Chains A and B, each alone.
Chain A
Amino acid sequence: MPESPAAAPRRGISLDVYAVALSLLLALLVRLNLIPAVKW
């Protein structure tokens, strides 16, 4: 049983910041055409 999120310690960088950082990195790679067109 994993740790309850309610009891999780709260320190360090939040998940949101990592999600924003990854998204901005992907946006930069797309802008500079460093990754091929992403299909759905």
Chain B
Amino acid sequence: MATSLSSTQPLSLAGPIGFVRRILALVPGLLLLVAVGYAGKFIEQSIARYTKSHHITFPNIEYVLWAIVIGLVIANTVGIPRVFQAGVATYEFWLKAGIVLLGSRFLLGDVLHLGGISLFLVAIALTLSLTFMHLLGRTFKLKPKLTSLLAVGSAICGVSAIIAAKPAIDADDEDASYAIAAILALGAISLFTFPLIGHSLHLSDKAYGLWAGLAVDNTAEATAAGALYSDAAAKVAVLAKTTRNALIGFIVLAYALYWASRGQAKEVGNKAVFLWRKFPKFVLGFLLISLLATLAVFTKPQLTSLANLSRWAFLLTFAGVGLRTNLRELGKQGWRPFAVGAIGEVFIALVTLGLVFGADRFLPL
């Protein structure tokens, strides 16, 4: 399976020569991300131009979907040669840079308002999801630590959460790989189902964005699922997802303490240090840029430039989402982790949809 760099995976800087070599090794894959992403944008624009000039009514298919589909086709037909893999794996770096730059499109007041609502909903959804996933794991007789990883992955933030939790609870590599494969497969399915459900329920951009941000596991897929609906929905989806990501440390800490109390994981030392290590730092960058935008540090054209830089970064991310999804590898995993993940995801999607409907009615979204 094509793998991804995680939020916690470091870049080794073993001397300047090593650093330059590592950067050069990224170039082929980066060029592939640019080519796939730009091809998606080109196809969307070409179809729009053609249908407009020929007066044909045709639904606009967003560049997001084209970029993902092109990536999927390449990854699952010719495959991704080794020389491209390191560069393709940087898609998560571009995702984070894109989120930080997206901060320029939010006033800090809006972040606190929508973030506060998201936090409230995330807390309810998390409690219900984690409880339900553990019940499911027991029913399907999964190994307890695999269940913990699946629960963290589906309730918080997909692959990053699994990678953060794995050493903390001393889980097996095999369990982590199963959980990652299940979460990636389910993320790919959500990409195509969420926009369809959102449209059929006539959800507003804000309600849909909130739903995607609360329910879709990986940040890349949540952003893409939002962008497939609308630009405004993507903005809200990223904010809701970022709120969810910010809680990763607390949940992983709770699991680490639980497994340590059972003598099946290392004791946690300084809890504040543990929380800081697991905290996704890009959230701070997002808040800083949002604060600068609120303080009118940037002019309007400069804010437009920052928003467009964020879009370009997301374009590379969406290309990477398709390129790293290997359907054959995903199919090789056992059916039970996938079944637990899938049932859990449906449960989480329904719970969060109910919460979003409630919030839409009773809270000023």
Contact = CB atoms under 8 A, between A and B. Distances in A.
A14 B10 contact: yes
B306 interface: yes
- A: interface residue count bin: 20 to 34
Contacts, number: 126
Contacts of A14: 7-10, 281
Nearest to A8: B9
A26 B309 contact: yes
Contacts of B311: 40
A23 B7 CA distance: 16
Given A12-B10, A16-B282, A23 B167 contact: no
A15 B312 contact: no
A38 to B, nearest CB: 4
B134 to A, nearest CB: 21
Nearest to B298: A31
Contacts of A17: 281
Interface in A14-37: 14-20, 22-24, 26-27, 30-31, 33, 35, 37
Contact of A40 (B3, B7, B100, B312): B312
Contact of B96 (A16, A24, A26): A16
Given A6-B166, A20-B284, A31-B297, A13 B101 contact: no
Contacts of A22: 97
Given A6-B162, A8-B6, A12-B11, A38 B173 contact: no
Contact of A6 (B96, B180, B301): B180
A30 B7 CA distance: 26
B226 to A, nearest CB: 17
B5 A23 contact: no
A21 B292 CA distance: 15
B163 interface: yes
Interface in B291-311: 292, 297-298, 301-302, 304-306, 308-309, 311
Contacts of B284: 20
B285 A6 contact: no
A19 B20 CA distance: 18
A40 B10 CA distance: 31
A37 B9 contact: no
Interface stretch (B85-93, B232-240, B249-257): B85-93
A24 B298 CA distance: 13
Contacts of B301: 37
B289 interface: yes
A34 to B, nearest CB: 11
Nearest to A23: B100
A31 to B, nearest CB: 6
Ranked 4 nearest A-B pairs via Cβ: A12-B10, A6-B176, A20-B285, A19-B96
Given A16-B282, A37-B305, 15 more contacts: A5-B163, A6-B162, A14-B281, A15-B5, A15-B6, A15-B9, A15-B96, A16-B285, A19-B94, A23-B285, A27-B104, A27-B289, A31-B297, A31-B298, A31-B302
17 contacts: A4-B173, A4-B176, A4-B177, A6-B162, A6-B166, A6-B173, A8-B6, A15-B92, A19-B96, A19-B282, A20-B282, A30-B302, A30-B309, A31-B297, A37-B301, A38-B306, A40-B311
